[in-house]
Amino acid sequence: MGGSDGKEKELLREVAKSVFIGDKDATLKAVRRAIDSNIRPEEILDKALIPGIRKAGDLYEKGQYFLPELIMCADAMKAAFGILRPLIEQNGEKVRTHGRVLVGTVEGDIHDIGKTLVGVMLSTSGFEVIDLGADVPLHRFVEEAVKNDVNIIGVSALLTTTMVKQKELIELLVKENLRERFKVIVGGAPVTQKWADDIGADGYGQNAVEAVSVAKKLMGVEE
């Protein structure tokens, strides 16, 4: 029993480490070895993948990891999650979700990397994510939020000339009598906490890691 437990722990450590260092190929190989060793997919997710990406996120917040490293880690996590999710559902389980989040970059702004990273970090942190991409008209944010019955709308703007669209989205939600239905998180290079407060947003994420924390707080999820 002890030997088996030791092997299992070593495999889980290997999965976590490969995510943490952002090696997608090594992550996929380690995940497959863990599956072949009959470790439950839920256990691989909860005890290896999530701790690995969380450690990467912590180092990013401390300034020891930078955006390229975090993107590599998130990419490894996303690929591994793609293997595990169908196995978890095949076992009759549901991947636990904290809520549904719609993300997109506002109309007139084609910047996509930061917003995409936010989406990946949210999806690997227990949220269901609908990513509308970049240059998204305000009416589409509203239509898709209603259609997909989301809990949170995450709106990115990377230009000072387009950040006003975040304010206009909140005004549109008010006009459509939908403001109370959705929480709104704003982010992007020129966006600040003061701007978020001024336009009446529910939250502000300075980076992808912070956006996840804010989303969890809005959904009442303990870190």
Q: What is the pLDDT of residues 180-214, one digit of tens each?
A: 999 999 999 999 999 999 999 999 998 888 999 99
CATH 1.10.1240.10, the chain: domain bounds:
2-90
Q: CATH for 2-90, among 3.40.1390.40, 1.50.10.10, 1.10.1240.10, 1.10.300.10?
A: 1.10.1240.10
Instruction: Categorize the per-residue pLDDT at 94 as very low, low, confident or very high, splitting at 50, 70 and 90.
Output: low
Q: Does residue 95 or residue 111 have the better pLDDT? A: 111
Residue 136 DSSP code: B
Q: What is the pLDDT of residue 125?
A: 83
pTM for the full predicted model: 0.78
Q: pLDDT exceeding 90 applies to what percent of the chain? A: 68
What CATH architecture does domain 99-218 belong to?
3-Layer(aba) Sandwich (3.40)
First vs last C-alpha separation in the chain: 32
Copy the structure tokens of residue 75. 């990419």
Determine the pLDDT at residue 1: 42
Ranges in the chain annotated CATH 3.40.50.280? 99-218
Question: pLDDT tens across 121-144, in order?
Answer: 898 788 999 999 999 999 999 999
pLDDT at position 78 is 86
Distance CA 129, CA 124 (A): 10
Neighbours of 100 (CB within 10 A): 17
- Helix, strand, coil shares of the chain as percentages rounded to 5? 55, 10, 30
Average pLDDT along the chain = 92
Average pLDDT of the segment spanning 26-45: 95
Q: Which two tokens stand for residue 157?
A: 């703007």
CA distance 60 to 57: 5
Whether 103 contacts 130, CB under 8 Å:
yes
